[in-house]
């Protein structure tokens, strides 16, 4: 693997234990590892000019459905369960592995170009998603979906669990960038027997679990009516929270459930844009933080967000909780940066999330020569309130330069977009859905 030296960076936001911000610093990377941060005297195979630029740890998107970029704009302005039942699930039933691969590459291209180096995905045909991640060069924690019913990939939860188990067996330890895991979809789609079997399998293979929890108030009512407990309590009873667990959304937890999340060290993936668009509500992030719950950030899929823009998610996270609570002191900028970098890395035991010696080299370089970055009174403030995804110039994942001067190096961008457009057309035809694309 080629060594990389980034010289003369104006700012390095390290996200180390002291949250240091360095001025006029270099970063040296070799064999995928950060070996020096500061003044570097050696040369490298690739030398990048960091003047007028800042480096930050690669952003971590803790909840998405990456192939759903094919669904972007197909179904908007609908209530969550109508959106799922009338639009999304009927289209998903027509998905093929080829659709999933082409949609994944489009989503990964978008993620990389906007500063995300790691995605936590949950979907179907996860094998094809892993292969796409390997080709394009992104880091990915991939969860094979398990649903108590028919999916485009399987006919029942037992088949789905078998597919997920085979996926985990194949990919665990195979790649430094791919982390396989199990994805029990949600309490309202996964019954007790399926949930417990999934928890047992994840424990046996010692891999994470990725699940939707308490996304909508109607979900909470349904689970309480069916099982007598809330969704988070349901997940705890069936041992899903005993593992390294990513809980997406968590908009409607009770106080008792917040304590469960803290005690079980669950990583809550906050998805403010998706939750606003579906009117699911606003997760009580300030309360969860005050109770010691670990929070990460996610975009959700492009069907319920439209873009995979983590800088936008960071800004909205900082703003929405101030507005709904009428308290400008809530969710400080540093809290948000932690949610986007070091928090999920620690929760999943990943050697990323900060720029410091010994960590895997997932690094984003951004251009500061923009009017919205000046004057730089506070790099932390600007990273949350002023940073735009178009500021990204270079992206390094696991010590490999994958974005250079804003463009993908590992694959042909135009081919990725053209193939995704064709896949979307085919999916529309199969599902009998019309859009501007098919007219």
How far is the CA of 409 from the CAs of 135, 393, 406, in angstroms? 11, 12, 9
Measured distance CA(300)–CA(271) in Å, rounded: 6
3-state SS, 110-153, equals HHHHCCEEEEEEEECCHHHHHHHHHHHCCEEEEEEEECCCCCCC
Is 300 flagged in the annotation as binding?
Answer: yes
Is 212 flagged in the annotation as binding?
Answer: yes
Strand (E) or helix (H) holding 203: helix 192-205
Number of helices (H), then strands (E), belonging to the chain: the values are 16, 17
Structure-token pair, residue 249 = 């959304």
Is 92 flagged in the annotation as binding?
Answer: yes
Say how many C-beta atoms besides its own lie within 10 A of residue 77's C-beta: 8
Is 415 flagged in the annotation as binding?
Answer: no
Say how many C-beta atoms besides its own lie within 10 A of residue 318's C-beta: 21
Within its chain, how far is the Cα of 402 from the centroid?
Answer: 18
Measured distance CA(315)–CA(336) in Å, rounded: 8
Classify residue 78 by burial, with Cβ atoms within 10 Å: 0-12, 13-18, 19+: middle
Is 193 flagged in the annotation as binding?
Answer: no
Measured distance CA(139)–CA(56) in Å, rounded: 16
Q: What is the DSSP string of 212-262?
A: EES-SHHHHHHHHHHHSS-HHHHHHHTTGGGSSEEEEE--S--HHHHHHHH
Place of tokens 């209530």: 79
Specify binding-site residues for substrate. Answer: 92, 185, 215, 300
What residues are designated binding site?
Answer: 63, 65, 92, 185, 212, 215, 300
User: Annotated binding residues for Zn(2+), as ranges?
Assistant: 63, 65, 212, 300
């Amino acid at each position: 693997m080629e060594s990389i030296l980034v010289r003369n960076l104006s700012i390095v936001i390290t996200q180390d234990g002291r949250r240091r911000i360095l001025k006029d610093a270099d970063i040296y990377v070799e064999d995928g590892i950060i070996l020096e941060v500061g003044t570097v005297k050696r040369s490298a195979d690739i030398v990048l000019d960091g003047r007028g630029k800042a480096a930050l740890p690669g952003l971590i998107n803790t909840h998405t459905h990456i192939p759903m970029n094919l669904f972007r704009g197909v179904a908007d302005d609908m209530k969550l369960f109508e959106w799922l039942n009338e639009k999304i699930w009927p289209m998903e039933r027509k998905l093929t592995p080829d659709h999933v691969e082409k949609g994944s590459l489009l989503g990964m291209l978008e993620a990389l170009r906007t500063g995300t180096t790691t995605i936590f995905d949950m979907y179907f045909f996860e094998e094809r998603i892993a292969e796409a991640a390997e080709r394009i060069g992104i880091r990915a924690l991939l969860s094979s979906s398990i649903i108590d019913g028919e999916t485009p990939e399987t006919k029942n939860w037992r088949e789905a669990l078998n597919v997920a188990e085979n996926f985990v067996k194949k990919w665990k330890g195979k790649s430094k960038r791919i982390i396989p895991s199990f994805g029990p979809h949600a309490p309202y789609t996964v019954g007790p027997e399926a949930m417990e079997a999934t928890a047992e399998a994840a424990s046996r293979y010692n891999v994470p679990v990725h699940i939707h929890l308490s996304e909508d108030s109607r979900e909470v009512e349904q689970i309480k009516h069916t099982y007598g407990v809330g969704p988070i309590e349901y997940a705890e009873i069936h041992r899903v929270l005993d593992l390294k667990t990513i809980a997406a959304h968590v908009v409607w937890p009770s106080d008792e459930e917040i304590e469960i999340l803290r005690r079980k060290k669950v990583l809550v993936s906050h998805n403010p844009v998706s939750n606003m668009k579906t009117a699911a509500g606003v997760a009580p992030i300030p309360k969860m933080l005050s109770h010691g719950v670990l929070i990460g950030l996610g975009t959700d899929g492009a069907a319920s967000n439209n873009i995979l823009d983590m800088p936008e998610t960071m800004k909205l996270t900082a703003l929405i909780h101030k507005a709904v609570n009428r308290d400008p002191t809530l969710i400080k900028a540093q809290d948000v940066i932690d949610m986007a970098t070091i928090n999920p890395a620690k929760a999943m035991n990943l050697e990323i999330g900060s720029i410091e010696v010994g960590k895997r080299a997932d690094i984003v370089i951004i251009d500061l020569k923009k009017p919205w970055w000046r004057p730089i009174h506070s790099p932390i403030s600007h990273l949350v309130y002023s940073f735009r995804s178009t500021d990204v110039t270079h992206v390094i994942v696991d010590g490999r330069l994958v974005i250079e001067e804003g463009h993908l190096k590992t694959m042909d961008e135009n081919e990725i977009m053209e193939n995704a457009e064709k896949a979307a057309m085919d999916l529309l035809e199969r599902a009998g859905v019309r859009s501007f694309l098919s007219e």
